[in-house]
Structures are given as C-alpha cells and as structure tokens.
Amino acid sequence: MTQIQAWQMHELAKPMQLSRSQITDLHPDEVLVEIAGCGVCHTDLGFFYEGIRTAKAPPLTLGHEISGIVIEAGTDAAAWQDQAVIIPAVLPCGECELCKKGRGTICRQQKMPGNHIDGGFASHIVVPSQYLCSVEVASADEPFGDSGVTLKELSVIADALTTPYQAAKNAGLQADDLAIFIGVGGIGGFGVQIAKALGATVIAIDIDDRKLENIAQFGADRTFNSKELDPKSMRKAIRAFVAEHSVSPFEWKIFETSGTRPGQELAFSLMTFGATLSVVGFTMEKLELRLSNLMAFDARAIGNWGCHPKYYSPVLDLVKSGKIQLAPFVQTFPLSEINSVFERVHNREIDKRPVLVPDF
C-alpha cells in the first residue's frame, strides 16, 4: 500500500501517516499524485503565523504549489496514468454559474489544496483530474527542456508564476505598456519577467536593494527603492523615466505584489489617467484612500485571486522557451526540514522561492 505522509498545520514537526486503504477510493474523475515538489508561498505563512483562516478548519495539510506524477487514476481519468503534472492552486468545479462565465477562480465550490482540501506538504495527494496541467517530462528528475529545472521546481508555476500572469491578462497588459511592480519578491519578481515577456516596459519597486539588483538582470528596465523616495518623489521619478524613454504617460498598469500597507498606499498614489491598479498581494492591514481618484483619472482598481487553469500551459511554454527564468529564483529543501524553512522564510532569511521535496 502507498504510504501517504503529510505535515499538518499547527503540528508541522509531526508527520501524519496514512495507509492507502485509509483513503476513500478514488472517484472516477480523481487521481492520486506522488508529489515531486511543493513551493512555500506567503499564503502558507499567513495561514500558519498570521491567523488567516483556511476554508477547511485545521488540522489541515498546507501547500498549494504542487507538481508530481500520477500513480493511480479513476476510471474517467485513466489517460492521466503515469503523467507528470502541475496541480492548479485553484481547482474550479467547472459547472456553476461563475465557472460558466469564465470566473472559475472565484468558483464557490472550488478546491484549493492547503485551504479547502489537504495540500502538498506531503508525499501524495488526491485531486480532481479535470484541470491538471501536463508536463512533457518522462520522470520527476528529467530536465524540462532548456529551462535548467526539473518537475519539482516547476511546482511554483501553480501560483508564483500563474498568478501574476493572470493579473497581467486581467489588467489588459500589452506590448509597449508601462508595467509597475511594487514588491519584487516571489510573485512580483516573476511578474516582472512575465510583463517583459509580453513586451512591456517594466519598473520594479522594492525596499530591498538586493532584490532590485537581481531583478534588473531579469527584465526590469528601471528600479527604485521606495525607502529612498516618498510617493510624490517616486511619481516624479517615474514620470521622468517615462519621458526619457518615450513611454506613454497614460494607462499605466500598476501591480501591487508586496502584500503590505505601504505598498498598497504607494500603488494607489501612482495612478494616472486611464491607469489600472491590480491588487495581487494580500495583507490584513487596512488603509485610508480617496477613492475619488479613480473617478478623476477614469482609472480602475481590480483584484486577482489565483489563476484559472487555462493559463497554465502558456506559462509553462514561457518557461520552456527561456523567456521566463525559473532556476535562479527557486531553491529546494527536504520536506523533513519544513519547520526550519517556514521559520527562515517568515524571518526573510531565504531570498529564493523554497520548494519542499519529499524525502521519506
């Protein structure tokens, strides 16, 4: 029998062990995936450290950036047997009113691993097969094209790459647009690469010079440290850059990816005529804004929850083609080190996106 092992929320150090016989038989449309890797996201830290509620009450296995190999499939999912896959972080039902309108990411019957169902900090996971993303590798250790990564590192596509990709699409980002990313850690850093791959001129803003120096090598045309400029000075500096490089002073696409109150305040202050503000990062903090700015600038502010599975294949193609560099931004750790990895990420001691790999 396959042993299903996982680390549960509130008891990360204590592995849970279940035999295959203790798991409900697979539904016809379900698959059992042997996990290759699972990325550590800020959302996981929010659940664990900040008291953000999960849809399913603990005990719950966290982790929603998951890749692996299908080792068992239900009768209707037989075609997935032995396939390498990425599991979307948001799994819509595909049948409700919202899904039929193309709004699957806010499907009220969705299953998000590590939130609605047990997640990927485990050896195996059972999920519906409908929205799996196929990966063209024969095994978990085979290199993926010329990307320099294997299936385990590709796990972060399930959120860190696809979320900013959907945000860019929802914002209507086009070639020659100005894209401004506030916060260039995990999601924001990949967002910079995505915007550049889509042909935009990209500005990166952060409070960490190391992150800014790094992202300047991977798509940022100009970087600014927001500790050194107040919002008014930042706006003036960006306008000077725009004028110098013949970029439009209108319809900027502004992506708030820091998930902080100062980041959100700065993002709102940078709006201009026809601008789109996309809120991608999350914080429990509240802020005070003059919403009339939206009216005065004829601008819009939109949110972004996860990514619809339809965008996974295009993102995978960008990685395979080398337009998005994944290898320099991820780092693998044994799953047995989950306690120390969580603590180090929480304390900002790890710059890259951690991927936990089962080692038992």
Residue with tokens 């972080």: 89
At 139-196, the pLDDT tens digits run 989 999 889 999 999 999 999 999 999 999 999 999 999 999 999 988 999 999 999 9
CATH for the stretch 162-303 = 3.40.50.720
Specify which residues 69 forms β-bridges with: 34, 84
Question: Any bridge partners for residue 128, and if so which?
Answer: 30
Question: What residues contact residue 295 under an 8 Å CB cut-off, 6+ apart?
Answer: none
Q: Cβ(355)–Cβ(38) under 8 Å?
A: yes
CATH architecture assigned to 3-159+307-357: Alpha-Beta Complex (3.90)
Q: Rg of the chain over CA atoms, in angstroms?
A: 20
Cβ distance 60 to 161 under 8 Å? no
Which residue is listed with tokens 């990709």? 165
Provide block-wise average pLDDT over 10 residues at a time, the chain (360 residues): 67 58 77 97 91 91 97 96 97 96 94 95 96 94 91 97 97 96 94 97 97 96 97 97 96 97 97 97 92 97 95 96 94 96 94 92
Beta strands 222-225 and 201-206, pairing class: parallel
* DSSP string over 139-153: STTS--TTSS--TTG
Residue 186's pLDDT is 87
Percentage of the chain exceeding pLDDT 70: 94
pLDDT at 12: 62
Looking at the DSSP bridge assignments, the partners of residue 331 are 354
Distance CA(158)–CA(60), nearest Å, equals 19
- CA dist., res. 143 & res. 345, Å (int): 27
Residues in Cβ contact with 43 at an 8 Å cutoff, skipping those fewer than 6 apart: 52, 64, 114, 159, 282
How far, in Å, CA of 202 to CA of 92, rounded? 32
- Could you tell me the two tokens for 114? 């590590």
CA distance 349 to 255: 25
Name the phi and psi angles at 255, rounded to 5: -115, 115
Q: Given the structure tokens 């409908």, which residue do they identify?
A: 130
- DSSP character for 160? T
Average confidence score pLDDT of the chain: 93
pLDDT in tens, 205-215: 999 999 999 99
pLDDT at 19: 54
CATH 3.90.180.10 in the chain, residues? Answer: 3-159+307-357
Order of strands, edge to edge, in the sheet holding 201-206? Answer: 222-225, 201-206, 178-182, 253-256, 276-279, 300-303
Which uninterrupted H or E stretch holds 70? Answer: strand 65-73
pTM for the model stands at 0.92
With tokens 């045309």, the residue in question is 221
pLDDT for the residue 1 = 44
Close Cβ partners of 230 (under 8 Å, ≥ 6 residues apart): none
For CATH 3.40.50.720, the residue range(s) in the chain are 162-303
